[in-house]
């Protein structure tokens, strides 16, 4: 308060004339003191005088996009009588606080730590691929449905073959998306190519849908000269400027606030697009998630948060991470519209993301989607998940809840797919992928000097010195370094 007590009275008078702050300085029983008036103004965190809108009447302040949201929404902190009565029959008062209306009550009541009714999980197809009666979903054409299924099978095959390649020592690392194919492909199908994607590391299907080729996947995993990252990233850390897909980062949840910043930029530029970010349930335990949610809500940024709640953050179950009713309820706490979806139901995921995108772009609002699924595969090739979860549980999800099988049954019921098409598809994908791996494996590796490029326009002397020392070390000890990396 020491700072505010030094504000000249002429500034207060100036503010009063410019934005009608006089109404802020009145209480229900008279005019406030100079000190209490300053407290009231401090609550509103007003902008510098040079940027204040020229409003003469506080009642004339309207909700216009891009204009001082604090002044749009909250005009005073005076109290008013509430017409409705509280449960005990006494009237309550409402405080028009900057964070929204506060209803006072003489009854002491704590909010429960858990809901009496759990959040519903949106679902369209049952486990047998049958439409659930009275389902509300976005229609999908035969062309889109067949492409979705083909991409899901491709992703499944991609994971199987690359996992085997890692086990053979041909690549150093791999992460599968087994059990989560519907989240990948269905969400990608509901977006447009202009939407900017900030992935975690289990969303290669989004790239696949957007046109990333099997050869491009293989080039990245083998780190050859055709890899867009020039071999400087671990396998599965894909990225594509052309496809609006930011490069994967291993650090958990760092992409979430980045997505909000990008979404805010799209809003400011009046683009007909949104940002989309993917993360796991473990990511919601990071501070970045909470900061991003609040940031998105306050700035009303067009961003879709897609959380893959697959039950496990490596070996940590969700029961050891949080006590809330899943993830979707957290959105409400931050003022973000949210939904819980069956992540193994491709039709439900498509409908939810399609609707979320419409709201995000047209209403300038963030949306949180909690996709309930199960990580059937190990966390990565460095993990053995049977050490912390029963094998029969994994097998049950693999067989009874497989999203690819469920969606196949639905398109077969519609007469859009058959066993012959299935056989041809799987054979063709496997053949194409094995061919792409052979090419990627034989391709030349990036030169050593690529380790020092693409950061500075003019490489500084200390990096030049490091490059020189590295090349000298390789020449002195050639057996300790890969022979296929050009010096």
The question of whether 379 is a catalytic residue gets the answer: yes
Residue found under tokens 């150093």? 172
Calpha distance 150→146 (Å, rounded)? 6
Residue 442: C-alpha distances to residues 218, 222, 223, 290, 437 (Å): 11, 9, 11, 45, 9
Please tell me which residue in 164, 363, 395, 472 is annotated as part of the active site.
164
Nearest by Cα to 217 from 435, 456, 365, 370: 435
CA angle (123 as vertex; 272, 150 as ends), nearest 5 = 70
Please tell me which residue in 35, 105, 172, 250 is annotated as part of the active site.
250
Question: In what helix (H) or strand (E) does residue 201 lie, and over which residues does it extend?
Answer: none
The distance between the two most distant Cα atoms of the chain, rounded to a whole number of Å, is 89
The question of whether 378 is a catalytic residue gets the answer: no
φ, ψ of residue 208 in degrees (nearest 5): -60, -45
Residue found under tokens 């009046």? 270
Collapse the DSSP code of 77 into the 3-class scheme (helix H, G, I; strand E, B; otherwise coil) and give the result: coil
Contact 238, 212 (CB under 8 A): yes
The question of whether 35 is a catalytic residue gets the answer: no
Calpha distance 217→437 (Å, rounded)? 9
Cα-atom radius of gyration of the chain, to the nearest Å?
A: 28
Nearest by Cα to 300 from 344, 365, 348: 365
DSSP readout, 418-453? -HHHHHHHHHHHHHHHHHHHHHHHHSPPPPGGGGG-
The question of whether 164 is a catalytic residue gets the answer: yes
CA angle (98 as vertex; 93, 100 as ends), nearest 5 = 55
Q: Among all residues, which ones are annotated catalytic? A: 164, 250, 379-380
């Amino acid at each position: 308060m020491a700072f505010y007590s030094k504000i000249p009275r002429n500034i207060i008078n100036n503010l009063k004339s410019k934005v009608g702050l006089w109404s802020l300085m009145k209480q229900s029983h008279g005019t406030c003191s100079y000190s209490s008036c300053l407290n009231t103004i401090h609550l509103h965190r007003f902008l510098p005088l040079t940027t204040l809108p020229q409003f003469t009447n506080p009642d004339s302040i309207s909700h216009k996009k891009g204009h001082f949201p604090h002044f749009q929404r909250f005009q005073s902190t005076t109290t008013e009588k509430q017409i409705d009565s509280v449960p005990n029959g006494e009237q309550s008062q409402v405080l028009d606080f900057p964070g929204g209306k506060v209803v006072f009550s003489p009854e002491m009541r704590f909010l429960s730590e858990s809901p009496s009714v759990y959040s519903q999980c949106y679902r369209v197809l049952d486990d047998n691929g049958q439409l659930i009666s009275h389902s509300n979903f976005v229609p999908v054409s035969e062309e889109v449905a067949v492409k979705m299924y083909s991409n899901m099978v491709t992703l499944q095959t991609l994971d199987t073959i690359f996992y085997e390649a890692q086990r053979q020592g041909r690549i150093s690392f791999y992460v599968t998306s087994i059990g989560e194919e519907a989240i990948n492909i269905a969400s990608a199908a509901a977006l447009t190519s202009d939407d900017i994607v900030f992935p975690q590391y289990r969303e290669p299907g989004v790239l696949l849908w957007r046109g990333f080729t099997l050869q491009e996947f293989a080039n990245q995993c083998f780190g050859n000269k055709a890899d867009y990252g020039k071999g400087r990233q671990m396998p599965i850390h894909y990225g594509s400027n052309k496809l609006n897909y930011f490069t994967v980062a291993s650090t958990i949840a760092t992409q979430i606030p980045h997505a909000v910043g990008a979404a805010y930029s799209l809003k400011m530029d009046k683009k007909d697009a949104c940002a989309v970010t993917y993360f796991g349930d473990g990511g919601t335990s990071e501070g970045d998630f909470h900061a991003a949610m609040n940031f998105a809500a306050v700035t009303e940024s067009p961003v879709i948060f897609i959380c893959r709640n697959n039950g496990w953050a490596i070996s940590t179950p969700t029961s050891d991470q949080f006590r809330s009713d899943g993830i979707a309820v957290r959105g409400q706490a931050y003022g973000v519209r949210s939904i819980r979806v069956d992540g193994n139901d491709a039709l439900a995921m498509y409908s939810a993301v399609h609707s979320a995108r419409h709201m995000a772009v047209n209403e300038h609002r963030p949306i949180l989607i909690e996709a309930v699924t199960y990580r059937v595969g190990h966390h990565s090739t460095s993990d053995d998940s049977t050490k912390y979860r029963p094998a029969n549980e994994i097998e049950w999800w693999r067989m009874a809840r497989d999203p690819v099988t469920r969606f196949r049954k639905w398109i077969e019921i519609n007469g859009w797919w058959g066993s012959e098409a299935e056989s041809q598809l799987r054979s063709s994908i496997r053949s194409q992928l094995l061919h792409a791996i052979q090419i990627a494996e034989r391709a030349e590796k990036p030169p050593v000097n690529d380790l020092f490029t693409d950061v500075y326009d003019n490489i500084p002397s200390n990096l030049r010195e490091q490059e020189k020392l590295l090349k000298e070390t390789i020449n002195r000890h050639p057996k300790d370094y890969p022979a296929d990396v050009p010096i």
